[in-house]
Amino acid sequence: MDKERLERLGECLWKIPVQGAMRLPAYIFATEELVSEMDEKVYEQLSNVASLPGLVKGAMAMPDAHWGYGFPIGGVAAFDPDEGGIISVGGVGYDISCGVRTLLTGLTVDDVSPMIGPLIDRLFEHIPAGVGSEGRIRLTPERLDEVLVGGAVWAVEKGYGIQEDLEHIEENGRLPGADPGCVSDTAKKRQYRQVGTLGSGNHYLEIQVVERVFDQEKAAGFGLKEGDVVISIHCGSRALGHQIGTDYIQLLAKAANKYSIPIKERELVCAPIRSPEGERYYKAMACGVNCALANRQVLTHLVREVFSELLPRAEIRTLYDVSHNTCKIEKHLVDGKTKSLYVHRKGATRAFGPGREELPKAFRDLGQPVIIGGTMGTHSYILVGTDTGEELAWGSACHGAGRAMSRRQALKRWKGKKVIQGLAHQGILVRAASYRGAAEEAPEAYKDITKVIDATDRAGLAKKVARVRPLAVIKG
Amino acid sequence: MGMDRVGAKQVATLGTKSGYETFEHGADIGIRGYGESLEEAFSNAAMAMFSIMVSDLNSIRPERSVEIQCESFDLTGLLVAYLNQLLAESDINGLVFCRFSPQIDAERFVIRDAPKGGPIPHGGEALGVEVKGATFTLADVRKEGDRFYAQCVVDV
């Protein structure tokens, strides 16, 4: 991105001034290096978001921002329903509530290392992953409605988890307002066999070791210390979320036309929050969120089953579960007044600071654990939400490293088997449903996550707590 | 990033007027079909999309067929709707489609097809990556000279 077109407000804060159709400015949180590497499309897409009605404060981009569908990936925007604010499909994304859950195991690397081979093999057998995989739970499209309303709460009621898990999930495991009547039969037919599947692409399950702690106090509060083994699950709402996005892009395109909202890009289509179309999309999107939360909950249960078989000493507890692609109704301070805003986070993680009532008691004085996944072979990070982040960006942070190289380029450069062998030499066991997938997800195809994390930390959006390193990975 | 970073690579053609290819996109992948008719371009776009999901589309036997119909407000919308409908049927029926014969009403933007395909293969060698959806990014249906092109970015 051309820095000359930006106004620099701080070390890690840049502004796109109001111009053309923009109603408010746009802000980019990144170091000079990351801004230089960002595509020009981020500039264009952020400016488009800043032109939408009812936007509050401005459009925002996180340090890992890149070209997305309508919104940039790494885009954050809050809309005020009282000011004609809108809800947008592009502001949520296709994989609704795609996110990461990290589980504590109560074990150390010394406990797990001797068993790591059998453990990852058994997990790979037990956890459905990759193209065409089906879940272990048998539902009907009708029974799926219970999942869409209940989310992880449904899963725990059915025996796939414990009550304590729910407190450690955003929205306590269930986003209210979901109405399965707003979700198409096609979406339900696609999903009912996929509950409890990992998926494909960049989704994964990793066994990780806490390699370094940056903040002892917060880490202790999160139950983390160096040498501890944790497990992270990255996946989303699978086919259902995608079908909801596809269905509502058509529906909201008509709505945007009806309400005379000028749309620069087809995937930016939107409707006023307070319109039948906008309300309908929110209710469908909430189903997508609940589907993802249920999915990660069922996967947690499958992990527990494997550990109880192979390492029964393990005590698997949910550290936290974060979502990247959401629109949520949140209370925020606007010009000294508390307002309910519709906060869109597309490829961005909620990162609430201390004191927020949404946080479970265990984290209310510390701030929210913010889990940022890397790629197989690279580190992941656990950060903590801050008060500053709330003032700057509605309590939001980055969501990952972002690709440095396209999938096609990665395929040309690497062979999946070689990538897996190379990682094995580094002591990282990979089990992949597809060799092509492993090649596309080669660690070198991604940007350096450390730069994104450092920028997030320096911008004050969230603070580093711990760094984890993968020991073994399942790729979908 | 923009069109300047979009570079096409032919993957399954012999320099004929008909074929399919994938093209660059930052985080996902672009698919493009072309041919002497609109139907051929759409059919090849579908081939390009399913070629991502398995290592060798030629190894899939066209043993089952599903009927589909969809409509949209323009040709680009129709392409995206068609590809998404194919993905939905692929998911619902556990099939990878490999033969297409769409019939397009280019005035009312309606498409009908009875794609044929076979079961999704197993194993790391045979499987590609799941395509989650066709998107409007770089989506375009156009005629250049005597060739029709149909393309978009798919989310993987």
User: pLDDT (tens digit, 9 = 90+) per residue, A279-328?
Assistant: 999 999 999 999 999 999 999 999 999 999 999 999 999 999 999 999 99
Q: For residue A406, which residues of chain B lie inside 8 Å, CB to CB? A: 24-27, 29
A384 pLDDT band (50/70/90 cuts)?
Answer: very high
- CA-to-CA distance for B63 and B68, rounded, in angstroms? 16
**What mean pLDDT is predicted for residues A82-110?**
97
* Least confident interval from A29-33, A175-179, A196-200, B80-84: A196-200
Domain containing B62: what range? 3-155
pLDDT at B8: 40
CB B121 within 8 A of CB B54: yes
Burial, A274: exposed, middle or buried (Cβ in 10 Å; 0-12, 13-18, 19+)? middle
Q: Which residues contact A137 (CB under 8 A, 6 or more apart)?
A: A160, A195, A196, A298
Q: How many CA atoms lie within 13 A of A310 on its CB side?
A: 22
Q: Is the predicted ipTM greater than 0.85, yes or no?
A: yes
Q: How far is B2 from chain A (nearest CA, A)?
A: 7
Alpha-carbon span A74 to A62, nearest angstrom = 5
Residue whose C-alpha is closest to residue A436's, from A124, A200, A235, A206? A200
Phi and psi dihedrals of A153, rounded to 5? -65, -40
Inter-helix orientation angle A276-310/A141-157, to 10°: 60
DSSP A325-387: SEEEEEEEEETTEEEEEEEEEES-EE---TT-TTS-HHHHTT--EEEE---TTS-EEEEEE-H
Amino acid (one-letter) located at A29? F
Q: Within an 8 Å CB–CB cutoff, is residue B8 touching chain A?
A: no
User: Which of 65-104 (A) contact B at CB < 8 A?
Assistant: 66-69, 73, 94-95
C-alpha distances out from residue A385 to A92, A193, A345, A449, A464, Å: 21, 36, 15, 18, 9
pLDDT reading at A96 higher than 90: yes
Residue A233 has what pLDDT?
Answer: 97
By residue count, chain A amounts to: 476
Residue A446, pLDDT > 90, answer no
Q: Which residues of A touch B25 (CB under 8 A)?
A: 406
Residue A266 contacts B, CB cutoff 8 Å: yes
State the residue for tokens 């499987």: B127
Give pLDDT, residue B15.
55
Report chain A's mean pLDDT, rounded to a whole number.
Answer: 95
**A471 close to A209: Cβ distance less than 8 angstroms:** yes
- Contact of B15 with chain A, judged by CB distance below 8 Å, is answered with no
CA B114 to chain centroid? 14
A:B CB pairs within 8 Å:
118
pLDDT of residue A264: 87
Considering Cα of A234, then A394, then A183, then A164, what sign does the dihedral take? positive
- Which residues of chain B carry a pLDDT beneath 50? 1-14
Domain residues of chain A, as ranges?
3-404+446-475
The residue with greater pLDDT, A381 or B14, is A381
Interface residue of A37, A67, A237, A417 to substitute, partner B, most B CBs within 10 Å:
A67
Nearest-CB residue to A434 (from B28, B91, B124): B124
List B residues 58-97 in contact with A (Cβ-Cβ < 8 A).
72-73, 77, 81, 84, 88, 91-92, 94
Of B2, B23, B27, nearest to A73 by CB-CB distance is B27
Task: Judge whether residue A188 has pLDDT over 70.
Answer: yes
Residue A126 is a catalytic residue: no
**What whole-number distance in Å separates Cα of residue A57 and Cα of residue A54?**
10
Burial letters A193-222, b for 16+ CB under 10 A, else e: bbbbbbbbbbbbbbbbbbeebbbeebbebb
Looking at residue A174, its amino acid is R
Query: In this structure, what token pair is assigned to residue A404?
Result: 């440095």
Instruction: Please tell me the distance in Å from B55's CA to the nearest CA on chain A.
Output: 8
Q: Phi/psi zone of residue B94: left (φ > 0), alpha (ψ -120 to 50 degrees), beta?
A: left
Check which CATH number belongs to the domain holding B60 and give it: 3.55.10.10
Strand bridging mode B110-113 / B103-105: antiparallel
Contact criterion met (CB < 8 Å) for B127 and A246: no
Q: Give the number of domains in chain B.
A: 1
Q: Is B150 helix (H, G, I), strand (E, B) or coil?
A: strand
Q: How far apart are CA B128 and CA A466, in angstroms?
A: 34
Closest CA to A28 of A13, A10, A44: A13
The CATH number assigned to the domain with range A3-404+446-475 reads 3.90.1860.10
Q: Are A437 and B133 within 8 A, CB to CB?
A: no
Question: Is the pTM here over 0.80, yes or no?
Answer: yes
Which of A133 and A426 is assigned the larger pLDDT? Answer: A426
Q: What is the mean pLDDT of residues A21-25?
A: 97
